Amino acid sequence: MTVRSILEGKGHQVVSVEPGTTLSAAVKILSERHIGSVLVMNGTRIDGILSERDVVRALDERGAGALDEPVSAAMTRKVVSCRLSDTLAYLMEVMTSERFRHLPVVEGDRLVGLVSIGDVVKLRVQEYEAEQEALRDYIKTA
C-alpha cells in the first residue's frame, strides 16, 4: 500500500491557511473541519504546519493573547513530508519516530495531499482484515 493509493481513497484536498492568519481563525478552522492540523502556505510554498498541539503550547506559554498572534508565531517551520511512492510501513515509521500525526504529500515542488495517522490506522486495519480473510479461505480449502 502506497501514499498514492491512500490519496486515491481519501482525495487530495489539504486545508491550509496563510502565515498571517490569526491563531483564533486557525482554531475555528480546526474545530469546524474536525481536523488536527492545517498547513501554513505562502502561495504554493509550505511555510509550516500548525497542529492542535502547537495551539496548546502557544496558550500555555503566552496565554489567551496568543490567539491574536499570527499562526507563523506558533507553527512548526521545518516540515517533514512524504511522497506518493512511499509505503504505509514507511509512514508508520516516520510518524512514530518523529512523534507527529500528519504528513503532507509533496511531489516535485507541489503539495498534492496530506496523510494523517487516522488514515494510516484505518488502512492498516483494512489490510489486517484482508490478510485474515485470505488466511481463513486458505485454511478452509487446504
Q: Which of 108, 100, 107 is nearest to 80 (CA)?
A: 100
Assigned C-alpha cell, 133? 480473510
**Residue (89 or 134) nearer to ligand AMP, CB:** 89
**Residue (30 or 123) nearer to ligand AMP, CB:** 30
Q: How far is the CB of 102 from ligand AMP (least distance, A)?
A: 4
Q: How far is the CB of 64 from ligand AMP (least distance, A)?
A: 20
Q: Are strands 16-17 and 37-42 parallel, antiparallel or unpaired?
A: parallel
The residue of the chain with the least Cβ separation from ligand AMP equals: 51
Assigned C-alpha cell, 92? 508508520
Interacting residues with ligand AMP (CB under 6 A): 36-37, 49, 51-54, 76, 79-80, 100-104
**Residue (85 or 132) nearer to ligand AMP, CB:** 85
In the block, cell 507553527 appears at 75
Cα–Cα distance for residue pair 61/81, rounded to 1 Å:
27
To the nearest 10°, report the CA torsion of 45, 114, 103, 87: -120
**Residue (80 or 134) nearer to ligand AMP, CB:** 80
Cα–Cα distance for residue pair 64/55, rounded to 1 Å:
10
Q: How far is the CB of 1 from ligand AMP (least distance, A)?
A: 19
Q: How far is the CB of 125 from ligand AMP (least distance, A)?
A: 20
